[in-house]
Chains A and B, each alone.
Chain A
Amino acid sequence: MDDLVQITLLSLGVSGIATAISLLIGLPLGTVLALSVFRSRGLVLSVVNTGMALPPVVAGLAIALMLWRSGPLGDLNLIYTPTAIVIAEVVIATPVILGLAAAGIGQLDPRLQLQLQGLGASRLQTVWWLWREARLSLVAALMAGFGSVISEVGAAMMVGGNISGQTRVLTTAIVLDVGRGEFGTAIELGGILLALAFLVNGVLTWAQQSGQRR
């Protein structure tokens, strides 16, 4: 039972931290992408969109190669640690949040930016109010980002190693249990995973809706 609690908390913690870091990277970059006009904008957009469809195993493979003992970052001794899973999940979630944030902000009327600036908003004030206007899309981007990592298994397996008590998360535990034929435990873990996803998205949806009513 303790095992179950530990696995669940690790899943939640790793995905939560990874989503938060992805938000910190993806939101500013997505904002810049949505608001600025530059020549290679189309290229950057297609790279981001490709990133949104990046297969987690490929992300996992890339991070595994980097962190492998003989790899370029091998000296950091991060392979098979929760930190390694966080890094891989950041790589997976950042393009999702970046792309959806850029789309959400890009959907705002461009005249809104002019109006805010025309009322004397500084650059930061303008961005803050644009985020506020796009908050429904931004919360949706956050949910999509979290969803992409909480349910991910390939990368977590590859860079985390599914070590019991250390890097075993819900998804990798399910894979292991199914491999062993222990369907009862697998179903139990699956139920927890679903409940977790429902809970987190429920909270975010509630925040989104109440923000809209206000």
Chain B
Amino acid sequence: MDSDADVRPKPLLPSAGQLTPPNAEAHPLTQPVLEARDLLVVRGGRHVLDIERFAVAAHETVAVVGPNGAGKSTLLLALTLLVRPQRGSLFLHGQVVTPRLALDLRRRIGLVLAAPMLLDTSVRQNVASGLRFRGIRGRQAGIRVDEWLDRLGILALRDRHARELSSGEAQRVSLARAFVLDPELLLLDEPFASVDVAARAQLIDDTERLLRETSRACVFVTHDLDEAGRLGTRMAVIVNGRLRQDDVPQRVLSAPSDAEVAAFVGVQTRLPGRVESVHDGLAVVDVGGRRIEALSTLSPGRQVMCCLRPEDVTLRVSDRFSPAPPVTSARNHLIGNIVKVVGKGPFVQVTVDCGQMLVADVTKMSATEMGLREGESVEATFKATAVHLIALPL
């Protein structure tokens, strides 16, 4: 589709401040599609969003994650100037977007909200609505609408009324309505939250495929880490209105930047300790009298928090008759008593008291085989590489 030029509105005012279309020569590839700097949104005297810099580059899918009420949706609305920030500036391909150019900006993006928010009309009319706003009607619009209905697998529903759709179908219409605009940037706010579980997996698959096929820049908000890890090429964690970490998903999950991010990304074991010594990048941390080895470059004496994901801990029933496990230098072994066993999907989550509480995920089958129950003494093992140290403020 070479319809970029058609989607873009005719210049409202041919002023110098007009947002111009992207130009590959003038803008190096490294330049973000949209960038926000020094963004502050205040509501009811509270700083609901306070972000130094947030940017999304072409071909990138940024997953914005964080607890409920952290300011994720506010960020999305602020990026479209649907929420007017108290302070801060937006740049589209490096050009400042003033409030007067808000409509121009919005006509180059596609917004999908958590609830499908369909109009009281047919599926086709709904998908065509954004095109109509841009003055695209008739045959040309019809062809594009049908194409996107097809790509989202809802072509058969095109003459149905929006009220007659299931939650999954409705959200597909909402996605088609944004994709059909061929926007430079897609903004999706919890796009799968309203969809019932049965339809969700397929919808996530399809969205992932479409984002890849169109290689569209995308920012999507979610509180679901699985979704974020699957769709996101980058993950931005927002807690209490602040951007705490912005990195590739794998690093956010394994090396959270602070204790709150760690808690949010599911690092359940967080042990406070102090670095005793560091040799060749291998640190020995004193955790309540027990030694834990971890990879780190922090200097000795530093107060730290040892973060450990539950899936990285293995348990073994400590039995004095069984041979001791092979001891490797980069392995940590802690003995303790099980204090809690909780079922969690295909896993059993076991909390072990080793002086400090340690959480491990064990498959249901091995939990049964090992006879893990409360009171049982076990040995918890984890690699030094699985431990992530967060330096606590001095």
Contacts and interface: CB of A to CB of B under 8 A. Distances in A.
A69 interface: no
Contacts of B121: 214
Nearest to A130: B119
A132 B111 contact: no
Contact of A111 (B80, B107, B113, B178): B113
Interface string B180-203: 010000010000000000000000
Contact of B117 (A111, A121, A125): A111
A116 B134 CA distance: 12
Given A114-B111, A120-B9, 20 more contacts: A111-B115, A114-B77, A114-B113, A115-B111, A116-B129, A117-B80, A117-B82, A117-B106, A118-B110, A118-B113, A119-B111, A119-B130, A119-B133, A119-B181, A120-B106, A120-B181, A121-B133, A125-B133, A129-B129, A132-B120
A177 interface: no
Contacts of A118: 80, 82, 106, 109-111, 113, 187
Contact of A109 (B106, B117, B134): B117
B119 A133 contact: yes
A132 B187 CA distance: 26
Contact of B133 (A111, A112, A122, A133): A122
A37 to B, nearest CB: 12
B113 A133 contact: no
A115 B133 contact: no
A214 B119 CA distance: 12
Interface in A13-31: none
A119 to B, nearest CB: 4
B29 interface: no
B103 interface: yes
A117 B177 CA distance: 13
Interface in A112-165: 112, 114-122, 125, 129, 132-133
Of the listed residues A109, A111, A118, the one surrounded by the most CB atoms of chain B closer than 10 A to its CB is A118
Contacts of A116: 129, 133
5 contacts: A116-B133, A118-B106, A119-B178, A120-B130, A125-B133
Contacts of B187: 118
Interface residues of B, number: 24
A120 B117 contact: no
Contacts of A119: 106, 110-111, 129-130, 133, 177-178, 181
Nearest to B134: A120
Contacts of A115: 111, 113, 117
A120 B113 contact: no
A122 to B, nearest CB: 6
Looking at B82, B115, B119, the one whose CB has the most chain A CB atoms below 10 A away is B119
Contact of A122 (B103, B110, B130, B178): B103
Interface string B80-105: 10100000000000000000000100
Most buried by A among B110, B120, B177: B120
Interface string B118-152: 01110000000110011000000000000000000
A129 B133 CA distance: 10
A121 B82 CA distance: 12
Contacts of B177: 119
Nearest to A121: B133
Given A114-B113, A132-B120, A120 B133 contact: yes
Which of A122, A132, A133 has most chain B Cβ within 10 Å?
A: A122
B120 A133 contact: yes
Contacts of A117: 80, 82, 106
Contacts of A132: 119-120
Of the candidates A118, A120, A133, the one having the most CB atoms from chain B within 10 angstroms of its own CB is A120
Q: Identify the interface centre among B103, B133, B177: most chain A CB within 10 Å of its CB.
A: B133
A114 B82 contact: yes
A28 B111 CA distance: 27
Contacts of A112: 117
A115 B120 CA distance: 13
